[in-house]
Structure 1
Amino acid sequence: MSEKKVIVVFGATGAQGGSVARALLKDPAFAVRAVTRDTTKPAAVELAGLGAQLVKVDLASQAEVEAALKGVYGTFLVTNFWEHFDKSKEVQQGKMVADLAKKLGLKHVVYSGLENVNRITGGKLTVLHFDGKGEVEEYFRTISVPMTSVRLPFYFENFISFFKPTKTGPDTYSVGLPMGDVPMDGMSVADLGPVVLSILKSREEFVGKDIGLSADRLTVVQYSEVMTRCLGKTFTDGKIPVEVYEKLDFSGAKEMANMFRFYHMNPDRDLALTRRLNPQVQSLEQWLKKNADAFKDL
């Protein structure tokens, strides 16, 4: 048998990297070098039990990143703007990995990217956690690294965390997404892994491509209707205008409002291609039924 292709998975104990690592570990063609800052955390220990090689790496250390990338076939790279709220830091991290991928001759990088909204809109709209990833996408291409960008939509998991519906009465809840009547793409982040696996197995088709992912495209009213049908509670569209949303009292309100403004522009997300890359990708309804317990204590 030929040797397995070693893939370095950044953020391996997080939502995106964990999904990718687990999908790759199920395929005999690949071996996983799982990058984490803490090799003792439960998620890391679990991956080691599944066969991953754990490597302690801080993205702030070029030497540690280079050591992790030496001698491998490729990598899955995800960076986390929300860890530091610093676009320049996220860009620096992404460009460093791009430079090392070039230097070390990696055959394929799958990057968790997003659009450079500021460039697309001619400076009219700034979405920092998009724009930095967009700059990194462009840099990979500029220095001719074989890269595929996967652009995730709104996570279904957001409904049980940052975008949890607001209680308005006994078993009644408001979904506070400032989308009006414009459909918004969504997907479970847990379904990313098989997508990345398919891309790595079809290198020639996907190198150089930006792939917008989506499992469902629904209006807020439709999201609410599906949630009502699946969860035994009543959900309604909160009908919050984006102009009101951006003035809400939480850190990042303006950033999130601008993200939704970009979503109003219908960014390119491909439902059919997503399903081809992961035939088991979950619709919102399927995901809600599987995760209903997470909504019991809303």
Structure 2
Amino acid sequence: MAAKKIITVFGATGSQGGSVVGALLKDCTFAVRAVTRDPSKPAAVKLKEAGAEVVAADMDNEKSLEAALSGAYGAFVVTNFFDHFSKEKEVKQGKTIADLCKRLGLQHVVFSGLENVKRLTGGKLEVLHFDGKGEIEEYFREISCPMTSVRLSFYFENFLTGCKPKKSKDGDHYDLVLPMCDVPMDGISVSDLGPAVLSILKNPKEYIGKNIGLSAEKLTVAQYAEIMSKVSGKVIKDAKMPPDVYAKLPFSVAEEMANMFRFYLTIPDRDVELTHRLNPKAKSFQQWLEENKEAFSKA
């Protein structure tokens, strides 16, 4: 019996990599090599118990990356700007991995990419955590490494953290602060990434060379708020905040996030129909919220 092809999954204990590892282990078509900085932490131990080969690697250590990729058929690659807040560092990490994938002969890389907003807008907008991934996408193509880019939309999970509704000044309702005006915003649960990546890896001829925008559905801020109100029992309203006001909010990456929403206002390419074809069980926002009602109520 032929050995299973190995898929190396970076960020295996994070939200994106964890979703991909889970889907691959459940499907059993591929052998899973889960990459983490610390194989001894509980999440990594659980992956080993579930059947993954767990290996240590550091995005800044080329030798460890080479060991993690050696002998693999394919890989899922995710880089994280918010680990260090440096676009240059993220691009360097991504290009190092791309060079290794090319040199080691990987046959299919799925990269968690995003648009190069600065290039697309002629420098009018700069979204560092998008632009770095866009440059990495471009580099994979430049060196002719067989790659599919999956471009995620806004995570539903963000509503449990930085984008959770905030109590209004008068205290009679909660404000949902997303500077999207009345333009629909694509959204998806990061947990639904894994099955989509699995479908892509199982159909390389169809998807190598493509950029795939993933979205479970498109909703206006008012629609998100309406669903939140329905599921939680709280009164939640669209704060109707424009991006220029959002950019001045008192948190460290307000301008960065405002530019992201400004880019979302241009309606970037996210394909709901294709997303549901790649993952027929991808959850709508209401389905996701009902599953996470308790966590949302505590947020």
TM over 0.5: yes
Quote the Cα distance in structure 2 between the aligned partners of 1:171 and 1:189.
32
Quote the Cα distance in structure 2 between the aligned partners of 1:97 and 1:228.
44
Q: Kindly provide the amino acid, as one letter, of the partner of residue 220 in structure 2.
A: T
Q: Secondary structure at the match of 1:236?
A: strand
Q: Within the alignment, does 1:147 sit opposite 2:147 as a pair?
A: yes
Q: How does 1:219-298 map to 2 (within 5 A)?
A: 219-298=220-299
Deviation of 1:49 after TM superposition, in Å, equals 1.2
Q: Kindly indicate whether the alpha-carbon contact (under 8 Å) linking 1:171 and 1:233 is maintained by their aligned counterparts in 2.
A: no
Return 179-188 or 41-50, whichever deviates more: 41-50
Partner of 2:9: 9
Deviation of 1:170 after TM superposition, in Å, equals 6.0
Q: Within the alignment, does 1:193 sit opposite 2:194 as a pair?
A: yes
Partner of 1:55: 55
Quote the Cα distance in structure 2 between the aligned partners of 1:121 and 1:111.
23
Quote the Cα distance in structure 2 between the aligned partners of 1:104 and 1:224.
48
Q: Kindly provide the amino acid, as one letter, of the partner of residue 229 in structure 2.
A: T
Partner of 1:43: 43
Runs (4+) off by over 3 Å: none
Quote the Cα distance in structure 1 between the aligned partners of 2:217 and 2:167.
25
Q: Within the alignment, does 1:172 sit opposite 2:173 as a pair?
A: yes
Partner of 1:31: 31
Partner of 1:182: 183
Alpha-carbon deviations, 1:62-91, whole Å to 9, x = none?
A: 000001111110100000000100000000
Quote the Cα distance in structure 1 between the aligned partners of 2:82 and 2:258.
15
The share of aligned pairs that are identical, in percent, is 64
Partner of 2:128: 128
Quote the Cα distance in structure 2 between the aligned partners of 1:68 and 1:272.
34
Quote the Cα distance in structure 2 between the aligned partners of 1:16 and 1:41.
18
Quote the Cα distance in structure 2 between the aligned partners of 1:294 and 1:106.
40
Q: Secondary structure at the match of 1:33?
A: strand
Gaps of 5+ in 1: none
Partner of 1:74: 74
Alpha-carbon deviations, 1:100-156, whole Å to 9, x = none?
A: 001000000000000000000111110000000000000000000000000000000
Q: Kindly provide the amino acid, as one letter, of the partner of residue 192 in structure 2.
A: D
Quote the Cα distance in structure 2 between the aligned partners of 1:170 and 1:3.
61
Change (3 A) 1:283 1:99: same
Q: Kindly provide the amino acid, as one letter, of the partner of residue 10 in structure 1.
A: F
Quote the Cα distance in structure 2 between the aligned partners of 1:46 and 1:112.
24
Gaps of 5+ in 2: none
Partner of 1:83: 83
Q: Secondary structure at the match of 1:265?
A: coil
Q: Kindly indicate whether the alpha-carbon contact (under 8 Å) linking 1:159 and 1:165 is maintained by their aligned counterparts in 2.
A: yes
Q: Secondary structure at the match of 1:279?
A: coil
Alpha-carbon deviations, 1:231-257, whole Å to 9, x = none?
A: 111110011110011011111111000
Q: Kindly provide the amino acid, as one letter, of the partner of residue 109 in structure 1.
A: V
Quote the Cα distance in structure 2 between the aligned partners of 1:202 and 1:36.
26
Deviation of 1:172 after TM superposition, in Å, equals 2.6
Deviation of 1:171 after TM superposition, in Å, equals 7.2
Partner of 1:213: 214
Q: Kindly indicate whether the alpha-carbon contact (under 8 Å) linking 1:108 and 1:200 is maintained by their aligned counterparts in 2.
A: yes
Count residues in correspondence: 298
Quote the Cα distance in structure 2 between the aligned partners of 1:101 and 1:62.
12
Deviation of 1:271 after TM superposition, in Å, equals 0.2
Deviation of 1:5 after TM superposition, in Å, equals 1.1
Q: Kindly provide the amino acid, as one letter, of the partner of residue 98 in structure 1.
A: A
Q: Within the alignment, does 1:92 sit opposite 2:114 as a pair?
A: no
Quote the Cα distance in structure 1 between the aligned partners of 2:282 and 2:242.
31
